[in-house]
Structure 1
Amino acid sequence: MMTQVPLFRLFNLRLKASEKAAFAKVGEQNLLTSIQQEPGTLAMYTGHLDDLGIENRVLELYRDQASYEVHAKSPQFQTFKTVAGRAVVDQSVMALTLLLLLEQDPALRTVAPTQQVVVLTELMAQPTATAELQVLVKSAVRRAIAAETRLVTAYFGQVMAEPQKFVLFEVFQDDAAYQQHQQNADVKAFKQASQSLITQATTTMIKPDVLVTQGQLTFENQF
């Protein structure tokens, strides 16, 4: 289990449709090379929301700031950065405090097309309910991972700039695993228990492009 809080970020990227193929190709090379050559690059996930691949999400996890600097100076990232400079027309980044990370698969080296299902859930807590919601989500994630072998990965984080907002990122082996998760009695109980704690909940299905991790990462923030 990791003891130091890693660097955790989520990017929203909007691309030119004409540059999607080039962006995807160089992005794949960047992720596959980085996860192999950079021990401090712990996980990177890319995917898109729409059929054209214009709306993209990128999740990154680094051991620390120094590990990110190693990645940022790498040849593969510099190549990616050049293509992204002309492909990305709008972007925003969400810096997150990692609260819980559980993985139960070996290292991922997954490239589309894939059957894996990626789900991003954003929760906005009531002003006085952030601590209670955090405990509730962490407990629900632990139970789900223990009960569902095909729930590959779960990351839970708190938005640094907006502490009432939380992000849950999950990867399932396939759609059947995701549908089974939805029917899990503990998941239904969590949804019922959390209703009074949140003001807004948004679930986004991400079509995966490249999913890579160092494998079997675990972390829990004790603050």
Structure 2
Amino acid sequence: MKLLKKPIFSLYKLTIDPKNRQDFLAEGMNNLITSHRNEAGTLMMCATHEDEAGSVNYIFEMYQDEASYQIHAASPQFQRYAKFAQKVVQSKKIHKLNLETLHANDQVLEIKDENPYFARLLEITTDYSKLEVLKSISQNTIASFVSNIDSDHWVIIDIFQNKSTMEKVNISQQLSKISAEYSIHELNIDTMVSQDDLKLE
């Protein structure tokens, strides 16, 4: 799907009590899978966790435009998820991302339950002149998204077929050449859905 304008792209960090983990996973999966199957404007959604207990969760969502987002926000599955999240989410941080580049394989993705897929979230402080370098960091990915929160704060999200593929490249060495301020989050993917062949024109 060719995108003629920048989509709505958001990053959520949600913290929960691990005792609510299984219910949180189930509600999130229902929201993502149902939205993917019923909403053409819901382009990509990915739910991940960082720690072994599953208390720290990162969720990425992309919508074609504001109208598509509003369709999702009003949907029964999201309303159910939002009601559940109010009870179990202990803290929440939201970043609206300005997507600069997008790469994705030409296939529809619907990944759930146990799976080998892995995500890497990079947060980097550097200036806009380093965009080409930031774009070159992503290698061997099935999808990658280079975005910024403001002119100096960058977020790169990479999706890999498995963890070993992700670990083949020394990212720290590359990042240290352009910035002293960065963080790397290695994320287990719980559920991920995507439309096929996403391209930002």
- TM-score interval, normalised by the smaller of the two chains: over 0.9
> Deviation of residue 179 (structure 1)?
3.1
Counterpart position of 1:134? 131
State the alpha-carbon separation in 2 of the partners of residues 174 and 105 from structure 1: 18
**Deviations 1:5-59, CA, capped at 9 Å, x for gaps:** 1001100101122222111101100000001100110000001111211110000
- Residue 124 of structure 1 contacts residue 164 of structure 1 at CA under 8 Å; is this kept in 2? yes
Q: Is 1:212 aligned to residue 200 of structure 2?
A: no
Counterpart position of 2:146? 156
Identity percentage over the alignment? 25
Which structure 1 residue ranges, 4+ long, deviate > 4 Å from structure 2?
none
Alignment of 1:142-221 (within 5 A): 144=139, 148=140, 151-159=141-149, 162-180=150-168, 182=169, 191=174, 195-219=176-200
Q: Is 1:57 aligned to residue 58 of structure 2?
A: yes
Counterpart position of 1:83? 84
Counterpart position of 2:18? 17
Query: How large is the Cα RMSD of the aligned pairs?
Result: 1.8
Specify every segment of 5 or more residues in structure 1 that has no aligned partner in the other structure, as ranges. none
State the alpha-carbon separation in 1 of the partners of residues 159 and 59 from structure 2: 14
Amino acid at match of 2:145: Y
> How many residues are paired up?
200
- Residue 112 of structure 1 contacts residue 208 of structure 1 at CA under 8 Å; is this kept in 2? no
Larger Rg: 1
- Residue 15 of structure 2 contacts residue 90 of structure 2 at CA under 8 Å; is this kept in 1? yes
> Deviation of residue 207 (structure 1)?
1.1
State the alpha-carbon separation in 2 of the partners of residues 118 and 166 from structure 1: 16
30-39 vs 199-208, greater mean Cα deviation: 199-208
State the alpha-carbon separation in 2 of the partners of residues 204 and 168 from structure 1: 10
State the alpha-carbon separation in 2 of the partners of residues 24 and 131 from structure 1: 37
Amino acid at match of 2:144: A
SS in 2 for 1:82: helix
> Deviation of residue 163 (structure 1)?
2.5
Structure 1 residues 23 and 218: CA distance shift in structure 2, 3 A: same
State the alpha-carbon separation in 2 of the partners of residues 61 and 115 from structure 1: 22
Q: TM-score, normalised by structure 2?
A: 0.93
- Residue 105 of structure 1 contacts residue 152 of structure 1 at CA under 8 Å; is this kept in 2? no
Q: TM-score, normalised by structure 1?
A: 0.84
Amino acid at match of 2:103: L
78-87 vs 16-25, greater mean Cα deviation: 16-25
